[in-house]
Structure formats: C-alpha cells, structure tokens
Amino acid sequence: MAKSKTIKPSYHNEIPPDWEIKELNKLGVFSKGKGILKEQVIESGLPCIRYGEIYTTHDFVVKEFKSFINEEVAKESQPIKKGDILFAGSGETLEEIGKAVAYTGNEKAYAGGDVIILSTNGDSHAEFLSFVLETDFVRRQKRRLGQGHSVVHIYPRDLATLKIPLPPLKERQAIADLLHLMDNAIIKKNLLIEKKLLQKKWLMQKYLSETLNEENKQLRTAKLSEFTKKVKGKVYKASEDKSGFPCITATSFDSNYTEFTNTKDAVKCEYNDVLILWDGENAGAVTTGHAGVIGSTVAKLILNDSLDNHFITFHLQYYNQKLRAIREGSGVPHMPGDFEDWYHFKIPSKEKQNEITIVLCNAEKEIQILKAQTEKLKEKKKGIMQQLLTGKKRLTL
C-alpha cells in the first residue's frame, strides 16, 4: 500500500485528486421494503431479510439468508436483486442507525418493512459501497440525520444526501477484494470457534452428565446451598475515568468492562469467583469473575472447600436451560431467592472435580484464544478500512 498525496476536501477528510465525491442519490434509486411480520417467517421457502437482521445477522454483505416466507407473503413484499444496498431504517441508538449491507447474490429475495433499498447503478460496485457506508466519516453523517429518541429513524430522503468518496472503478474493486479476503479470514475463525464450542458442549455432556449420572450412581445428590453462600451486588457510582475497580454488570457480564468505580462499599469479586446474572433478559447466565466489583444485577457464590469453582461454573452452564426455566417475573426476569436450595447435583470427589475442570478449562482456553484472534482481525480490518476508504493509503494496482 502506498501513501496518498492528496488534497481534495470531503466531509472532514481529504481524498486523492482522482477520487470524486457523490451523493447516494446519484448512485441509484431508493425504494422501501414492506410487510414480512415475525409470524410470517417460516423455516424454508423464499429468502427474505427483515430490518433487525441487518444488525444481528449480516455484516457488509448478505452471505446467506436466515429467514424465509411463502409465495403469498412474497406477493405483498418488496423484491431485491443483485447489487442492492439494504439499510436498517430504524434502530435503538444513533450509533447504529442506517447500518448497510450489500446483496450480491443472484437468488430472488425480499425485504421487509423498515428496510430501505438502494438499487445501485451498474458501475457503483455494491460491495465497495457496503464497506464505505460503515466507515466513521459516513456514520457521522448518518448520526446527524437520525431522528427520534426511544426509537431512532432514518429515511430515504436523508440517506440520499450522504456524501460518499469514490476512487476509480478498478481501485474500488481492488479495495473490495482485499476487505472481502479479510472477511473470509474472520468467517473461518468464527467457524472454528463454533466447532470448538460444539466440542466443549460434547465434553460437558460426557463429563457432567454421562459420567456423573451413569458411571457414578453411588454419588450423593446434594443441594448447592450446602456448599455455597450467595452475595448480591450493589448499586455503585461509576468513575469518570478507568481508575478503580472494573464493574461487572448485565451489559458487561461476559465481555470487556466499560465502567469502573472507586465506591468503597461496593461488592468485590476475585478471579475465578462464580458469578450469576441475577436480573435481566439473560438472567441465569453463569461465568467466572475477574478482580472487580459486581453491580446490582449480579450475584456471586462463595463456595466452601468441597467444591471447585470452575467445576460448579461449568455445571451451571451445562444445565443453563434448567436455570432459565425457573426464572421469575412477568416483566424483567430474575432468579428466585431460593435458587441454591432448588439446584441439585451429584457431587464427585474433589479429585474428580479437578480432573473434569482441567479438561473443560483447556477447551475453554482454546475458544478464548480464537475469540481474541478474531477480535484482532476485526480491529486490523477496521484500521485498513479507514485508511483505504478515505484514500490516506492506496493499493498499488
């Protein structure tokens, strides 16, 4: 890649002199999706895309469809074709509004309501546009155009005004090809993660179900409350910087910490503490903690010496469906107060627990390494996107 020497201004950026700036309305024709209610989606039939799937299922390019409709529903829906750009017309935040994906397949498909469609001209290169539409300098424009509070909307008339920097056609193709290769590398990593997750699930079944229930019928069935004390988290005051203890909450339960606190009476947890998400949509989720504090939606289990922390964490994860089945509350679900008395399990010796823990921890470590590698690939791709799609660096053609 060569550094660019340019000087043509474009929406707070500078682009090469042989690039041009165009509004989206010069690159195609806008239309809107329609119909396709949740209850109309079936397991097989004619492929379709609903606006929520643009956020949850697709990145940059629609590689495969997850939803399908029958021919009657299709008659009332909007068809899409190869080269169309699909935008999410609604979202919960300004940050995500107007996310775009390209449809590059040949199969006839359909778009539901709140999907905005840009049917591109033949030389626009839809895949390239899908990448450039998700760069920081275009997302800033979309945030400025988003309307609403609890639900944010963006409309075709707004998207039509987005200014897009466009390199020569051959360069667009080369950039799209490079980013496509990086996407494929990320996909391969994700497929490997899925394979390792299935392997871990098989190991959990083998060691936490078959071994304990069949080979060790003499094992005593015990209540979790015999071995543990539950401590609920508290409300804390977040610090303005990243000083103090990282906070584990419903939103950061199994991911990077985003808040920190210096609250002195906050409930602290240590590395390997067993944590349960007590309240919220995912109540019943279980993980091991790191040094930090737990918020009011999280509880930790303090175990006695008879139980290995990782063993009981894996056990609770394996039987997570049982945990979710006992959640209470008509609105926001929460775990019942007598959860520890309700949860029964066969308790093997500490040596057997350690043996099981070693196998499952090794499987978990492989998954975490792959996830970290995938995140690095995503960050690398994001950096390359910002360089190539603004012309700061250029490919040697």
Please tell me the predicted confidence (pLDDT) of residue 6: 52
Task: Note down the domain range covering 292.
Answer: 220-347
Residue 147 has pLDDT above 60, yes or no: yes
- The CB-side HSE value for 84 (13 A sphere, CA atoms) comes to 25
- Residues 82 and 72 grouped into a single domain: yes
- Residues 37 and 77 grouped into a single domain: yes
Give the CATH number of the domain where residue 52 resides: 3.90.220.20
Residue whose pair of structure tokens reads 């999410």 in the numeric block: 88
- Residues 248 and 140 grouped into a single domain: no
- Residues 245 and 130 grouped into a single domain: no
Please tell me the predicted confidence (pLDDT) of residue 139: 86
Please tell me the predicted confidence (pLDDT) of residue 4: 54
- Residues 158 and 172 grouped into a single domain: no
- Residues 179 and 278 grouped into a single domain: no
- Residues 225 and 337 grouped into a single domain: yes
Q: How many helices (H) and strands (E) does the chain have?
A: 10, 27
**Which residues, 6+ apart, have CB-to-CB distance to 152 below 8 Å?**
90, 91, 92, 93, 94, 97, 146
Is residue 12 one of the residues assigned to a domain?
A: no
- Residues 95 and 191 grouped into a single domain: no
Which of 347, 367, 383 represents a domain boundary (last residue)? Answer: 347
Q: Which two tokens stand for residue 1?
A: 């890649």
- Residues 335 and 397 grouped into a single domain: no
Work out the number of other CB atoms within 10 angstroms of the CB of residue 119. Answer: 17
Please tell me the predicted confidence (pLDDT) of residue 8: 56
Please tell me the predicted confidence (pLDDT) of residue 58: 87
Is residue 36 one of the residues assigned to a domain?
A: yes
**Which residues, 6+ apart, have CB-to-CB distance to 57 below 8 Å?**
66
**What percentage of the chain exceeds 70 in pLDDT?**
93
Is residue 210 one of the residues assigned to a domain?
A: no
- Residues 128 and 110 grouped into a single domain: yes
Residue 9 has pLDDT above 60, yes or no: no
User: How far is Cα 195 from Cα 231, in angstroms, rounded to an integer?
Assistant: 35
Residue pair 168/125 in contact (Cβ under 8 Å)? The answer is no
pLDDT digits (tens, 9 = 90+) for 170-218: 999 999 999 989 999 999 999 999 999 999 999 998 888 876 665 566 7
- Residues 316 and 335 grouped into a single domain: yes
Is residue 153 one of the residues assigned to a domain?
A: yes
pLDDT digits (tens, 9 = 90+) for 293-318: 898 889 999 998 889 999 999 999 98
Is residue 208 one of the residues assigned to a domain?
A: no
Q: Please give the single-letter amino acid code of residue 99.
A: K
β-strand 245-248 against 292-294: which pairing, if any?
parallel
Is residue 187 one of the residues assigned to a domain?
A: yes
Which region holds residue 183: left if phi is over 0, alpha if psi is between -120 and 50, else beta? alpha
Lowest mean pLDDT among 4-8, 35-39, 200-204, 350-354: 4-8
Is residue 103 one of the residues assigned to a domain?
A: yes
Residue 257 has pLDDT above 80, yes or no: no
User: How far is Cα 21 from Cα 39, in angstroms, rounded to an integer?
Assistant: 42
Residue whose pair of structure tokens reads 């940050």 in the numeric block: 95
**Which residues, 6+ apart, have CB-to-CB distance to 382 below 8 Å?**
none
Is residue 72 one of the residues assigned to a domain?
A: yes
User: How far is Cα 47 from Cα 58, in angstroms, rounded to an integer?
Assistant: 14
Please state the φ and ψ torsions of residue 49, each to the nearest 5 degrees. -135, 130
Give the CATH number of the domain where residue 364 resides: 1.10.287
Residue pair 87/159 in contact (Cβ under 8 Å)? The answer is yes
**How many structural domains comprise the chain?**
3
- Residues 358 and 325 grouped into a single domain: no
